Structure 1
Amino acid sequence: MIRILLRCDYLSVLPKLQEKLEKSGFLPVGDGEEAALFVPQLSRSGWEKEVLACTARGGAVVIVRKENIPEAERLLKGSGAAVLPHDVPFPVLVGVLQAEAKAGERLFAVCGEIDRLRERLESEKLIHRAKLALMERGMNEEEAHRFLEKQAMDRRLPRRAVAEEVLKERVP
Structure 2
Amino acid sequence: MVFQERTYSVLLVSAGEKFAKTLAELMPPARFWPVTVVKSADEARRVRLSGGYDIILINTPLPDELGVQLAIDLCAHSDAGVQLLVRTELFQEVYDKVTEHGVLALAKPTSTPMLVQSLRALCAVRERLRRAEAKQATVEEKIQEIRLVNRAKWTLIQCRGMSEEQAHRYIEKQAMDTRSSRREVAARILEECG
Same fold (TM over 0.5): yes
Q: Secondary structure at the match of 2:17?
A: coil
Which residue matches 1:27?
31
State how 1:53-68 maps to structure 2 within 5 Å.
57-64=53-60
TM-score w.r.t. length of structure 1: 0.73
Cα RMSD (Å) of the superposition? 3.4
Q: Secondary structure at the match of 1:82?
A: strand
1:71 matches 2:72: no
Q: Secondary structure at the match of 2:180?
A: coil
How many angstroms apart in 1 are the aligned matches of 2:178 and 2:124? Answer: 43
Gaps of 5+ in 2: 76-81, 87-107
Q: What is the aligned length? A: 159
How many angstroms apart in 2 are the aligned matches of 1:51 and 1:146? Answer: 49
CA contact (8 A) 2:174 2:185 kept: yes
Give per-residue Cα distances to partners, 1:51-80, cap 9 Å, x unaligned. Answer: 5777x653322224x576x71113222534
Aligned identity (percent) is 26
1:135 to 154, 157, 163: 157
TM-score w.r.t. length of structure 2: 0.66
How many angstroms apart in 2 are the aligned matches of 1:151 and 1:89? Answer: 64
Moved more, 45-54 or 147-156: 45-54
How far residue 87 of structure 1 moved from its aligned partner, in angstroms, is: 4.5
How many angstroms apart in 2 are the aligned matches of 1:165 and 1:145? Answer: 15
Which residue matches 1:10?
17
1:158 to 157, 160, 181: 181
How many angstroms apart in 2 are the aligned matches of 1:83 and 1:26? Answer: 24
1:84 matches 2:81: no
Please tell me the residue identity of whatever aligns with 1:83. Answer: L
Which residue matches 1:47?
44
Gaps of 5+ in 1: none
CA contact (8 A) 1:60 1:82 kept: yes
Structure holding more strand per residue: 2
How many angstroms apart in 1 are the aligned matches of 2:127 and 2:175? Answer: 36
CA contact (8 A) 1:73 1:83 kept: yes
